[in-house]
Structure 1
């Protein structure tokens, strides 16, 4: 009779011991993400406003942005862009950035841009999204690195 009382307890105790002895191997997998390097010269390959391609209406061939490894940037040619002067840049998080923050030399105000770093057709792109004053108009500049 004592065996009938203790059997469920012993079975639960053994089950607990077996399940708790399992190691979580997934937790040990290193998930290192590389620091994003955007240094180099970038040209515009696509410009959209509210999802509509407006790049076909204007000449984008001369507009480039150069990000230097020292944290500075320069612009080539003028285009309606969020900044018009060279300055400094920094990510909100170097490993997992969601924003690129520009600080033009002629202003001391930080200007955050939504940042994405996708690969399209086998080429790394730099995608910057922002609004120029009117919050209902969102511009997205897609850049490719110039070799």
Structure 2
């Protein structure tokens, strides 16, 4: 019985030492999330409506959105998109954005798209989802930055 008590005490002491050493390692590993940088020219690589891929039915090759460092954006060509004119943009939160907020020139209201920023097949993508008037139709544009080197 005395052997079990000693063994239990030793294991508890080793466990406490082990836990306290893990805490230091965790705090050293904690990093701050970087600010999302979407500046550059983005081309459409996929367009879906309600999950159906429209990429083969529409010519997406000329549509671009350019995000400039000064907080403005420009559009090239027209597609059914959340904005039909160039203007200003911002992310809902620079580090943890859930939305891209556009303000087309001459419009008094913001237009908002759901924002994702995944890396797919080694390339950073920008994914924007929104509805254009009819709530039952959801468009998702997946963009890749032109000339990106990861």
Fold conserved (TM > 0.5)? yes
Q: Which residue in 2 is equivalent to 1:55?
A: 55
Please provide the CA RMSD for this pair: 2.0
Find runs of 4+ consecutive structure 1 residues off by over 2 angstroms: 18-31
* Correspondence list, 1:1-147, <5 A: 19=16, 22=20, 24-25=23-24, 26-147=26-147
- Normalising by the residue count of structure 2, what TM-score does the alignment of the two structures yield? 0.81
Structure 2 counterpart SS, 1:22: helix
Give per-residue Cα distances to partners, 1:21-55, cap 9 Å, x unaligned. 93633245332111010100000000000111012
- Normalising by the residue count of structure 1, what TM-score does the alignment of the two structures yield? 0.83
- Unmatched tracts of structure 2, length 5 or more: 1-11
Q: Which has the larger radius of gyration?
A: 1
> How many residues are paired up?
135
- Unmatched tracts of structure 1, length 5 or more: 1-14
